[in-house]
Structures are given as C-alpha cells and as structure tokens.
A and B are shown apart, each in its own frame.
Chain A
Amino acid sequence: DGGITQSPKYLFRKEGQNVTLSCEQNLNHDAMYWYRQDPGQGLRLIYYSQIVNDFQKGDIAEGYSVSREKKESFPLTVTSAQKNPTAFYLCASSPRVHYGYTFGSGTRLTVV
C-alpha cells in the first residue's frame, strides 16, 4: 500500500546534538512538507519542497535543515541551534495538482 513512513517513532536527543528524522513516501507525490506540533497546539510549517533539489523555508525554519535529493525522501535535521526542539514532528506529501495532503504517523522528539 502507498503511504508515508516516518522513523523513528520516538527519539531522544542530548543537548547540543544534531538528529535527523526520516520521511519516505511511495505515493509519487511531488511536494513534501515538515510540520511541528506542540502540545495542545496546531501545526506549524518548518520546511516544504515542491520538487527534487529545491525547498523553501516555512514559518519556523530556524534551527532546522532539510534536503531533497530524491523524490521519495525528505529528511529533517534538528540542529543544536534549535532552542526548544521537544515536539511532535509530522511529515506530509501532496500531489502537484490535487493538493490533498497525506500525513505520516509522526516522530516524537524529546531533549534529555
């Protein structure tokens, strides 16, 4: 079945450490997105990519980096510059025309 796979489901990071969250899709979608969700809050856009080798900053890109070397993959790195990284991270994809989003199951990141 087609879908989006995020890994790992849970991730613990030490202060000052960079970590990378994986997002892979087999839906043949052009666009991919990373969102952050804090407890009791809506989702906020970190980065998005409409096409391979191109991506745009979202509303809260500081302290994060991404790459889009393959259509299927859009990994997110949470760097040590991100001051408050503990959150639930959600990856999504959409076709170029229809715009309907499909979400992955998320990664819960905790700083220890």
Chain B
Amino acid sequence: GIQVEQSPPDLILQEGANSTLRCNFSDSVNNLQWFHQNPWGQLINLFYIPSGTKQNGRLSATTVATERYSLLYISSSQTTDSGVYFCAVGPLAGGTSYGKLTFGQGTILTVHP
C-alpha cells in the first residue's frame, strides 16, 4: 500500500517562530489532508489539498503532486498550535478505495511561551 513519511518527528519552537512540516508519499494520490490533534485527542481537519496551495490564517499548505510531497507552514506560532500534525493521503485509484486515507506517523509540535 501507499507509504506516508512525515518530518521532522518532533519540533520545539518559541512562540512567534515559523515552521515547515513535510509529508512525502510513495504513490500518486487524489486525496491529501492535514490534521491537527490536540492534547485531548480531537482531530481537526486543517486542509484538504490534493494539489496546489491553500491558506487559512497563519497556516498554509502546498502539495506538489507530481513530486509526491506536501508542506504545511505555520507562521507566528502560538502555544495553542501545540499538538500532533498528521498528513493523510488517499490513492489515485477510484472504486472501493475512494475516501480511504493512510496516515503518517505525525509531527509532534511543542510551542513554548
């Protein structure tokens, strides 16, 4: 099946710093999503971004599907950004596989005040 690799595995920042999280995947995809998991376990969908660039406030994401990677940018980080960031991808093949996501291992982000 498709492999998803996220880097770095851990990231520690001071409040106000910027960061870039990377997601590499092993095959063509038609679905790529970024999620934030808070310390209580709730997963929030940040972006649905199988290709192109999107921005939402201090967060933005870029997916280069032809080169099989995606980047999540966090600017002016805040302590509330702490948690685990997951990249998840879905295969290009349709049929019974649509909507099915494979998750990476995540990047643990800690933002200190």
Q: Which residues of chain A are within 8 angstroms of B33 by Cβ–Cβ distance? A: 99-101
- Other-chain residue from A42, A56, A108 in contact with B96 (beta carbon distance below 8 A): A56
Q: Which residues of chain A are within 8 angstroms of B41 by Cβ–Cβ distance? A: 37, 88, 90, 105-106, 108
A-B contact count (CB 8 A): 63
Nearest CB on A from B91, distance (A): 12
- Other-chain residue from B42, B86, B101 in contact with A105 (beta carbon distance below 8 A): B42
Q: How far is the CA of A45 from the CA of B42 in the complex (A)?
A: 17
**Interface residue count on the A side (C-beta < 8 Å):** 28
- Other-chain residue from B31, B42, B103 in contact with A43 (beta carbon distance below 8 A): B103
* Chain A interface, >50% SS class: strand
For residue A94, CB closer than 8 A to chain B, the reply is: yes
- Are B42's CB and A41's CB within 8 A? no
Given contacts A45-B102, A106-B41, are A99 and B86 in contact (CB under 8 A)?
A: no
A interface list, Cβ under 8 A from B: 31, 33, 35, 37, 41-45, 48, 50, 56, 58-59, 88, 90, 92, 94, 96, 98-103, 105-106, 108
